Structure 1
Amino acid sequence: MSKEFFKAIECGQTLPINNVHAVSVSMPTMQDVIDYEKQTPQIFEKIKSGYPRFKLHPYLKKLGLYIKDKYKVSDNFEVVLLSSKKAVELISDKYFIHNKIEVDEPFGVILVQRGTTQLQKVLTYIQHVGCNLSSRLAEKYLFDVELINTVHEEKLEDEKKAKDIIINTLANAYNQPSKNVCLAPSGMNAIYSIVRGLNSIQSHNGRTILVQFGWLYLDTMNIVNHHYNQSKIFPDILNLDLLEEFLKIDGKKVSAIVTEMPTNPLLKTVDIKRLRSLCDEYNIPLVIDTTFATPFNLNLEAYADIFVESLTKFACGNADILMGAIILNKKHNLSHMNVEFFTHCEPVYIKDIQRLALQIKGYEKRVKEISSNTKLLVEYFKKCSYIKDIYYCLNEENKENYSQTIKDDNSLTGIISVTFNKPFKDIYDNLNFAKGPSLGTEFTLLMPYTYLAHWDLIQSKEGNEFLEEIGLPIDLLRISVGVENINEIINEFKRLEN
């Protein structure tokens, strides 16, 4: 990409630019971010779309209105669209929704009574479980019924080859048979399916506690809380002593340990050999979210029973696909139970598969280029007076743990988080990179992580104290490093030196 890319991108523009299926959206100033979190009316005049699990896509809104009119639904009800009829049953059972509607559609439809707290609960649950309807499916439907005039032009892989291309790429990268790989419509839906599978397999053995090791991504923890009566969080991934003491007492009650490697957004890495040893001692399955590491940076084959990856990120590289994957490790004792883990995954729309199949062909090359850029950007940051703290995989705190599984010297996952010695607002507002949610893009993408992920905690004294306790700075900038010329990336940051 040329230097021309580093220009301010107006608030509400899709990221990538002018892509109706984009999963990110430009929030170029801190005031935009704050207005978005406060849900001020004026910000939503600008921001029409966003990360699909958090903000309803415009096509889904339009399709919902069409379905409401088509089936003559009363104004007393809100039409909610889901990825499948199976998802309708799931949500209807959980929230006792008996507003039955008979529809003949290639997706799920439920009716939720307006003016109740139930609607927000349902929408939040859909966000966590990841059973959103595909924007590409909605687009085709709307075009076919002549509610939109055009379909977004994009390159797609051949329909007959697409799924095999994705499955085989992942199977080869993780060194697993293709039957051990399953696609899901989002990374969160993949995690949801794993949690449900563990629950059904382990609960009859009296293993009812799911351990979350490290301060995991917000929605991962939300899924666990929805589906496990008992869960235990160990926020500090570098403190295995606390976990070991807990396992001495309750190890036989633990159904699984779920962790990220490295963690989001502080890039901390567990002593994976010691963690695996504890799992073996107490016969506990280990689930590792490898979205940040990717299978091309770290070799975790000897350690994880189950891998989960958000393919929306580095595997896609363009931020215009929502998809996830479960990969079961043939070396460990759960790989023969693939039906138990895969059965809860929602179906993936074929055009999403076709789009990712095209993009995943560049996965390994993209990761290597980003890794190289990340290493050089870290070296630049180390010399910067305006940088307060740098969080990355090979910092001194993490170096020994990360090096246990590193594939080569350039295997630095493409995320850097930093804090500054200057006012955060000034820093954020003045940088001309793309700024919005998500990561893993070929274009450098900045996110004010704590503001977008933990706005509720920022708002109270108790929340601030909790953030301090878990070591998560409020004014943290998460940088997803792109494949642009590294000198151009560094030169954009150099403007902060003035």
Structure 2
Amino acid sequence: MPHSTPPENDVEVGESLPPQTAHAVSVSLPTWRANVGYEEGEEWVLSKMKTGYPRFFVHKIIQQLAADIAAKYGQKNEQAMLFPTPTTAGRCRDFILRTASELNSEQVRIVDLVPASEQERSAEFSVISPRVSAVLFPGTHFKVAKSFWQHSGDGVSSRRAEYCQSLFSKGLLVDSKETCTTPKMCKGPRRYRQKTSIDLTGSDTLPNGAENQDSAQFVEQRFGRNLDISQAKNAKLAIRRRIAGSLTANVGLIEALSLEKDAERTRDVPGFSEEDVYLYPCGMSAIFNGHRNMMSTKAPLKSIVYGFPYIDTLKIVEKFGPGAHFCGFGSQEELDDLEKRLEGGERFLALFTEFPGNPLLRSPDLERIRHLADKYDFYVVVDETIGNFINVNVLPYADAVVSSLTKVFSGDSNVMGGSLVLNPNSKNYNVLKRAWDEDYEDNHWAEDSIFLERNSRDFVSRIERTNANAEAICEVLRAHPRVKKVYYPKYSDTRPYYERCRNANGGYGGLLSATFYTKQDATDFFDNLDTVKGPSLGTNFTLSSPYVILAHYGELDWAASWGVEADLVRFSVGLEETSKLVGTFQRALNAITPS
């Protein structure tokens, strides 16, 4: 019997992905059994979880800060949920009180933690603005608070919590009611102490021998990267220009901001610029706040969710507004029905859709949707996370385009981010622009912005490579007799709608899914597939998961009723050498037990 090749990606259950990464956004669930065990709450899985996907698993750094704040400012058996501002915390508080009507306002309250002295608040931390707002509530209602955290995406990031924890433990972050005007001798973690201009124009990396300099201005030195906190504002500008398509060169931050705009990649909408790009803590926060802002411009109306969506998009529309009209197949027949409803007088706030959808990779008919929206006055919100604007241009059909920057835009699986783009050519632009101007808070933590800017510099070349690798994997899967169906935009019956939006040099993306004829086939294949396995997508390494088990375990029959099978396996294809990746998938297919 031939000797089998030992797996290269045998990562222990519960380990972060990438391994030993403090702020990783994925976690290893390496077998089918481990994924089911996680959903079932089995101790052998949960006890090993070092981390998890950040909106579903409150990072242990955040857990520790929340516990410390609750211990100091809370009452017996109270817990805390942490948010970046009083405003975001207030929305959580309102949600808890609305959902748990047995609680009163004294039982759910907010403590705003700020730097201890006025000098620190006004000068020392003017760039990074370290503060956190804690919602304190009875621990028995943790699930209610957690659902707001998950759906809204507005909770604090692990890096913000790490920074604030270091201040809080030294007594330098206190209840805003306790602040004083007397400067303290110690000004917080040493690496943050140096005051620098936010508009530094020098190099954004440490010169040789910089270890002898005052290293306070450098907030991170992970992965060999030295990050200058003074560059946070510039980093955010570069990110917004990349999302706008006007910055695509793989160069350092200072050079990037001096380049002429990339006219070939800028989104093809008259009058568009980075001024119409808004950053959020994560992609779901962009959707949550987009829905909330749009509701503020009209009378209470249901929204349409078109196509089988990522789970929280539907939950947001259902839980934080008048409700949803769900068109889960994303079919022309559903658009026919919608048109009849509109002709009959029904009115809606907005239509939310993904281009293409997750996990079935179907593409909506955006041209027809736009026509209906213009005729019957509802907004169109398109989530371009899977397609991404290098491959497709959906902005001409949308009032707003949202994306998770956590995914392929970052690639490194170590930072969260989201964006929302307004279409200046939309007839609704002025109304929406006013709503955003009045409401928008930039809550993307400065350190996260610096990581995201660094990670995204080569996003164009990475997307082109994952496009090619995904097509190669697609061909391997489609050729195997035990694979029931492969879901990929190139081979979907909705391909004509994708092609209508595909850029001249755009591909079909790095995400695909497959189903098998039996559960045993799916399990055999998955357990023998030598990639890392866990939640998230768009990583620079290939990442696989039994997606429906993870996302819809409590509603598998409901998902199946919309054509989403429980045993579907989803693949986010990475940057590995193509022939090696093809071999990895071929070996897993060969491991399927003969029937």
Residues 70 and 80 in structure 2, CA contact (< 8 A), matched pair in contact too: yes
What are the within-5 Å matches in structure 2 for residues 394-409 of structure 1? 394-408=490-504
Structure 2 residue 573 is the aligned partner of structure 1 residue 477: no
Structure 2 residue 190 is the aligned partner of structure 1 residue 98: no
* Aligned residue in 2 for 1:77: 78
The counterpart of 2:340, out of the listed 228, 245, 249, is 245
Structure 2 residue 349 is the aligned partner of structure 1 residue 255: yes
Q: Quote the sequence identity (%).
A: 29
What are the within-5 Å matches in structure 2 for residues 285-434 of structure 1? 285-336=379-430, 337-341=432-436, 343=439, 347-408=443-504, 411-421=507-517, 423=520, 424-434=522-532
Q: Which amino acid aligns with 1:405?
A: C
Task: Give, in angstroms, the shift of residue 38 of structure 1.
Answer: 1.1
* Aligned residue in 2 for 1:43: 45
Residues 62-102 of structure 1 deviation map (CA, whole Å, 9 limit, x = unaligned): 1122223343x322211222222112211222323434454
Q: Which amino acid aligns with 1:334?
A: N
What are the within-5 Å matches in structure 2 for residues 164-243 of structure 1? 164-172=237-245, 173-175=266-268, 176-203=272-299, 208-239=301-332, 240-243=335-338
1:42 aligned counterpart, secondary structure: helix
The counterpart of 1:11, out of the listed 10, 13, 19, is 13
2:222 aligned counterpart, secondary structure: coil
Distance 1:53 1:149 in 2: 30
Residues 392 and 503 in structure 2, CA contact (< 8 A), matched pair in contact too: yes
In structure 2, relative to structure 1, the CA distance for the partners of 1:493 and 1:130 (3 Å cut) is same
Distance 1:410 1:373 in 2: 14
Task: Give, in angstroms, the shift of residue 231 of structure 1.
Answer: 2.0
Distance 2:476 2:337 in 1: 36
Q: Which amino acid aligns with 1:225?
A: E
1:467 aligned counterpart, secondary structure: helix
Aligned residues: 483
Q: Which amino acid aligns with 2:580?
A: E
Q: Which amino acid aligns with 1:432?
A: D
Residues 82 and 88 in structure 1, CA contact (< 8 A), matched pair in contact too: yes
Distance 2:376 2:276 in 1: 24
Distance 1:491 1:373 in 2: 12
Distance 1:108 1:5 in 2: 45
Distance 1:225 1:345 in 2: 24
Distance 1:10 1:149 in 2: 35
Task: Give, in angstroms, the shift of residue 152 of structure 1.
Answer: 7.0
Distance 1:429 1:245 in 2: 47
5+ residue gaps, structure 2: 98-104, 115-130, 171-188, 192-219, 246-265
The counterpart of 1:130, out of the listed 138, 153, 156, is 153
* Aligned residue in 2 for 1:107: 132
Residues 131 and 346 in structure 1, CA contact (< 8 A), matched pair in contact too: no
Q: Which amino acid aligns with 2:113?
A: D
Structure 2 residue 56 is the aligned partner of structure 1 residue 54: yes
Distance 1:101 1:308 in 2: 30
2:469 aligned counterpart, secondary structure: helix
Q: Which amino acid aligns with 1:435?
A: K
Residues 476 and 586 in structure 2, CA contact (< 8 A), matched pair in contact too: no
Task: Give, in angstroms, the shift of residue 346 of structure 1.
Answer: 5.9
Task: Give, in angstroms, the shift of residue 440 of structure 1.
Answer: 0.6
Task: Give, in angstroms, the shift of residue 409 of structure 1.
Answer: 6.0
Distance 1:125 1:299 in 2: 32
Residues 392 and 506 in structure 2, CA contact (< 8 A), matched pair in contact too: no
Residues 476 and 585 in structure 2, CA contact (< 8 A), matched pair in contact too: no
Structure 2 residue 223 is the aligned partner of structure 1 residue 162: no
Task: Give, in angstroms, the shift of residue 228 of structure 1.
Answer: 1.7
Q: Which amino acid aligns with 1:440?
A: G
Distance 2:21 2:466 in 1: 23
Distance 1:135 1:230 in 2: 32
Distance 1:28 1:230 in 2: 37
Greater mean alpha carbon deviation, residues 310-319 or residues 337-346 = 337-346
* Aligned residue in 1 for 2:87: 86
Residues 238 and 268 in structure 1, CA contact (< 8 A), matched pair in contact too: no
Task: Give, in angstroms, the shift of residue 134 of structure 1.
Answer: 1.1
Greater mean alpha carbon deviation, residues 294-303 or residues 347-356 = 294-303
Task: Give, in angstroms, the shift of residue 128 of structure 1.
Answer: 0.3
Distance 2:40 2:448 in 1: 32
Task: Give, in angstroms, the shift of residue 281 of structure 1.
Answer: 1.7
* Aligned residue in 2 for 1:461: none
Distance 2:337 2:590 in 1: 42
Distance 2:320 2:63 in 1: 29
The counterpart of 2:365, out of the listed 271, 286, 295, is 271
Residues 168-197 of structure 1 deviation map (CA, whole Å, 9 limit, x = unaligned): 111234353121111010111111111111
Greater mean alpha carbon deviation, residues 34-43 or residues 449-458 = 34-43
* Aligned residue in 2 for 1:442: 540
Task: Give, in angstroms, the shift of residue 163 of structure 1.
Answer: 0.8
Residues 287 and 304 in structure 1, CA contact (< 8 A), matched pair in contact too: yes
Q: Which amino acid aligns with 1:132?
A: G
Distance 1:87 1:431 in 2: 41
Distance 1:376 1:249 in 2: 47
Distance 1:434 1:102 in 2: 40
Structure 2 residue 478 is the aligned partner of structure 1 residue 453: no
Q: Which amino acid aligns with 2:564?
A: L
Distance 1:439 1:104 in 2: 34
Residues 85 and 108 in structure 1, CA contact (< 8 A), matched pair in contact too: yes
Residues 385-433 of structure 1 deviation map (CA, whole Å, 9 limit, x = unaligned): 2311000001141221211111136511111100124522211111120
Distance 1:120 1:479 in 2: 30
Residues 70 and 78 in structure 2, CA contact (< 8 A), matched pair in contact too: no
Task: Give, in angstroms, the shift of residue 122 of structure 1.
Answer: 1.2
Q: Which amino acid aligns with 1:232?
A: H
Distance 2:579 2:523 in 1: 24
Residues 19 and 152 in structure 1, CA contact (< 8 A), matched pair in contact too: no
